[in-house]
Amino acid sequence: MKAASPFVVNKMETRYVDNDEDNYSDASSSLAPNGSVVSTVPDRHGFLGGAQYLNESKHMISANKTIERERKWLNMTANWDKQMIRSFKKVQNRCRKGIPQSIRPRAWLYLTKANKLLDQKKNLYFKLCDQPGDRKWIEDIRKDLHRQFPYHEMFVDQDGTGQKELFNVLKAYTILNPVIGYCQAQAPIAAFLLMHMPAEQAFWCFVSICDDYLCDYYSPGMETLIRDGNILFALLKEREPKIYKLLKKQSIDPIMYMTEWFLCAFTRTLPWPTLLRFWDIFLFDGVKTFFKMGLIMIKISLPEKSYSDLKKRFPTMCETLEALRNPPLHMLEEERIIKKLILLEIPEDTFKYYHMQQSSLRRKTKETKKIRETDVF
């Protein structure tokens, strides 16, 4: 199994370049500031303040190039199924370069296959909205509405359209999938989607993400999340043994720092321009993108080169968890992170190996538990 450091930019990584004349750096925008500003005028993403507010934007794409890239995406979505069969790598490449803002809602709809759900189940969303829903879930949802991006113009007003639509999307999902119901971590994902598309489209994208991309993440007990946390830890041992050793010595389980990353699909973690680009890639490549971003987040949060330096800077669990939960914002800048994400290769066989390993361990644990329960009775 390959264990070479994935964070070194390899000059041989030319397979990500296609014949398009634009490159990855063309899609960059700006750094996220510290969020101390509250404005009466929203930034270009709709934020009036908070950590996601952008004082200014660095537009690095010319109008002509933007139009050209939009045209390419419109052509792709017009023949989407054929493009995914015949030009799979090209579609992936263009997702990695960043989807044009004006095309993003349409592209995300197709990437998640929510367009097919929308066609197959016309008007079902509105019928679900008209139903009362389970009182337990309704109360939980209402408690969380005001917490979702409160500085965004769409959600700043408690009685505004944004919070009403967010309530409807979350309630409708609990009726469609009563086994899962509602999990607090779903709310920022639904809110994020509503910022980009109409409620009905956002709902079916949300359904696809919860039921397909993040299948079983929100199930009671969250066994799938725990399994994936252990897989992340195994990948860390392989890629960054010094950091792995520190976390192991301090008894820091993955669930203590990666839960919000994975459950919220990084919507509460990454600066907005970086988050948009991350989702462009995530919706194409799937949940393996979480593991890649997770490794990058750990690496930039605990940057010391030697184990002794790590121990000096992060002597206890307290300092280590604080660093993991608050990565340096300047290191999360769009251009920097997206390049790392693209160049970080984790073979499919590696994922399969660790998945089988963790599934086997979980089965053995359950069997042992059953034996102990039998012995008690």
pLDDT at 19 over 80: no
Residue 364: pLDDT band (50, 70, 90) is confident
Q: Which structure tokens are listed for 13?
A: 């990584």
Determine what percent of the chain is predicted with pLDDT higher than 90.
74
Q: Which structure tokens are listed for 34?
A: 């510290």
Residue 374: the pLDDT is 55
117-153 in b/e form (b: 16+ CB < 10 A) is: bbeebeebbeebbeeebeeebbebbeebbeebbebbb
Average pLDDT score over residue span 63-67: 85
- pLDDT tens per residue, range 257-310: 999 999 999 999 999 999 999 999 999 999 999 999 999 999 999 998 899 999
pLDDT at 7 over 70: no
What distance in Å separates the CA atoms of residue 189 and residue 265, rounded to the nearest whole number? 7
pLDDT at 14 over 60: no
Residue 169: the pLDDT is 98
Task: Classify 49 as helix, strand or coil.
Answer: strand
Residue 220: the pLDDT is 86
Residue 135: the pLDDT is 95
What distance in Å separates the CA atoms of residue 31 and residue 55, rounded to the nearest whole number? 9
pLDDT at 375 over 80: no
